[in-house]
Structure 1
Amino acid sequence: MGTDLKISTRSTVERYSDALLDLSHSIHAEPELAFEEHRSVEKITSLLVKEGFEVDCGVADLDTAFVATFGDGELVLGLCAEYDALPEVGHACGHNVIAAASVGTALALRDIADRLGVTVKVIGTPAEEVGGGKVLMLERGVFDDVSLSMMVHPAPYESCAARSLAITDLEVHYKGKPSHAAAAPHLGVNAADAVTIAQMSISLLRQHFEPGQMVSGIVTNGGTVPNVIPARASAMFDVRAENLESLQRLENRIRDCFSAGALATGCTHEVVQVSPIYAELTPDPWLADAYRRAATELGRRPLSPELEQREKIGSTDMGNVTRVLPAIHPTIAIDCGDAVNHQQEFATACASASADRALLDGALAMAWTTIATATDSQQRARLLARGGAA
């Protein structure tokens, strides 16, 4: 039965290839930022409605989140679709490919859902780059009935059990006192100096970071004109670590660096957590192995499991999903030269012929992974036992 089902899904993906590539290119051409992805959602859901899926928009009190459902099998598959872009560089993380690949998998499985005993869900998850759409949707029950989840992410290399870093985004705001920078600087309290001291403290702390810990940041407000002592200044930092436990230790020390800036200058300060905390990816080993077999059969060349352990893809709110239910977040390679995710050159590559091939292969690899899982009695029982059955 497995071979017959795989042939069926390949035929479906081929039949819908033009529609899937058009969807990817259209999303790519009109990038939208976190929680503003209205056009992208319309493009995705209109295709799914046309193909017989029941679509619920605005789920979890998020205007640009949706769930599209087909079938009523006890094994519930959640295919995550991302579609938010980055400021200035657009779809430099390839979310257009992610969304279209998940739609492709859903269409491929639609016609065999009854034979597999599965319910197919495309879960539209906004604001992955910042905002933590999946975290909010997890907290609000969207994944409660999902047995397993997957998505595929374009990258410079191919991995089946991709690893990521846990992350928290912190913004620090300092408040001082303005004064004339030449006539009465001694009457001012310089908030920009507080940012500088915080930056220097973090730079010195780097010598003592644990393995896998890292911090990157930008100044978001450093004053207005040079002849006025800045009364307000702010900066934003991405704080990352190998896991949530290490992240908490690092966050505590970074907050101390923020306090040092305030103490040294006489400013007051406030720290704001910008997005929900993203956990590290913990891919399900069996699902990752099944995806590896599928990708390899399609002619892809994934990194070895040993090399996968050394590569990190940054951070993703899919990590939170993998801590709650069996899930995978493989990466699929596209031809991008020396470029990496979040560069303009990578954005260009995400609408190339290579990205198109990756989209169709990724859709089929996830479909075949689902077939392998649904037709394996032991794995099926394992997934249903976790309480994710409809």
Structure 2
Amino acid sequence: MDKTALKEEVMAAVDTMAPELREISLFLHKNPELGGHEYQAARLLTTAAKRYGFTVQTNISGYTTSFIARKGSHGPKVAFLAEYDALPELGHACGHNLIAAMSWGAAAAFATVAGNRAVSYLIGCPAEETSGAKVAMAADGVFDGLTAVLIVHPADGNYLGGTSYASHPLQVTFHGQPAHVASKTNKGVNALDALVMFYQGIKMLRQTFTRETILAGIITKGGTAPNIVPDNAQAKFTVRALSSRYLEDTVVPAVRRLAEGVALATGTTVETVHYEPLFKELINNPRLMELFKNNMARLGETVTVLEPEDADGSTDVGNVSHAAPTLHPDIGIGCNLIAHTPEFAIATGSDYAQERLLVGAKAMAMTAIDLLD
């Protein structure tokens, strides 16, 4: 099998699709939809997949805007992940419009060239910014048995490797007893005092962990009026570590013990609940990293390889990587860009970004070619 020739074919296939991929990316950019409500995006992508002969299954793992598109019958099973949810007010400030177009281009090009020598999947994954559909999909076995899972994220440069933080956010609510602040007979029990004590304790707790840990929060409810002792006070905390096992076995239990200790000391009661699911840390597959790096070089692209524990943010792709060999590199769409900002949102709709998505699609498709038997 001449994989060099096949790579030329998938690159040509992506180039042929360039107008379509640009149209998909810019449509999503101009019509941003929040997680779980990406109806236009899902319809656009599934319609394209059906047009190319993919069979499409929708409503995966309880998400109406999720889907699995498949083409091929034998050989390695390679999945390309499409994300397409936007951010409130900012729109596509994380570049999911580009991710969707890149993954579709790679899936279609690979399917066209590989034929029945492989199975090409485009898996539509809603709500990456919020509940993370991939968490439920991974738990349901959607990614089990896949040879490889690929997704490329836009960034300020070409990066490969690294990881992401495991994340399991907590909502902490203290309950006390209300009273008028001037009452001489009933002083109540101040839930806000308990929450403030807990908030201060978090700063000290953070210093006790032996591994890199992130604890940060905001008070979301502190009372109703200054002359009423608050009987309910609430905060939300992001709780992150480089290992999901360390996070679940060490960090989260310590945070809960602190909350319970504060409640005991202040005469309040406390509830701690996870308001988002567990996003596991990302495991980039070494073999896929090497293949992708070589294919980027073939495209004339240099790549910065990150250290294994170099983490920046959290993603539900981490859960996928615990179920199947996964690769999640970055591709540059401009300099000095920071995701989740208005500037990044503008960049993801630029002409340059639409050119760069073709590079990402080609690199993924060529990496998939390397996996053919």
Could you state the TM-score of these two structures normalised by the residue count of structure 2? Answer: 0.93
**1:193 and 1:261 in contact (8 A); partners too:** no
Matches within 5 A, 1:1-390: 1-114=2-115, 117-183=117-183, 187-248=187-248, 249-304=250-305, 307-309=306-308, 311-337=310-336, 339-374=337-372, 377=373
Identity %: 38
- Bigger proportion of residues as strand: 2
Question: How far apart, CA to CA, are the structure 1 residues paired with 2:229 and 2:348?
Answer: 45
Distance 1:113-1:252 versus aligned 2 partners, 3 A rule: same
- Bigger proportion of residues as helix: 1
Question: How far apart, CA to CA, are the structure 2 residues paired with 1:89 and 1:178?
Answer: 39
User: Which segment is superposed worse, 240-249 or 85-94?
Assistant: 85-94
SS at match of 2:271: strand
Distance 1:75-1:260 versus aligned 2 partners, 3 A rule: same
Distance 1:247-1:225 versus aligned 2 partners, 3 A rule: same
SS at match of 1:67: strand
Offset from partner CA, 1:209-260 (integer Å, 9 cap, x none): 3332111222222223323222222111111111122212111211123224
Amino acid at match of 1:78: A
**1:336 and 1:346 in contact (8 A); partners too:** no
Amino acid at match of 1:58: N
Aligned-residue Cα RMSD (Å) equals 2.0
User: Which segment is superposed worse, 274-283 or 177-186?
Assistant: 177-186
Question: How far apart, CA to CA, are the structure 2 residues paired with 1:245 and 1:111?
Answer: 41
Amino acid at match of 1:303: T
SS at match of 2:279: coil
**1:371 Cα deviation after fit:** 0.6
SS at match of 2:340: coil
**1:186 Cα deviation after fit:** 5.1
Question: How far apart, CA to CA, are the structure 1 residues paired with 2:87 and 2:193?
Answer: 30
Question: How far apart, CA to CA, are the structure 2 residues paired with 1:358 and 1:184?
Answer: 69
**2:242 and 2:309 in contact (8 A); partners too:** no
Equivalenced residues, count = 371
**2:145 and 2:324 in contact (8 A); partners too:** no
Amino acid at match of 1:335: G
Question: How far apart, CA to CA, are the structure 1 residues paired with 2:184 and 2:143?
Answer: 59
Gaps of 5+ in 1: 378-390
**1:178 and 1:231 in contact (8 A); partners too:** yes
Question: How far apart, CA to CA, are the structure 1 residues paired with 2:47 and 2:184?
Answer: 63
Question: How far apart, CA to CA, are the structure 1 residues paired with 2:30 and 2:183?
Answer: 52
Amino acid at match of 1:349: A
**1:189 Cα deviation after fit:** 2.1
Amino acid at match of 1:246: Y
**1:336 Cα deviation after fit:** 4.5
**1:88 Cα deviation after fit:** 3.2
Offset from partner CA, 1:110-133 (integer Å, 9 cap, x none): 211226x11111111112222131
Amino acid at match of 1:330: P
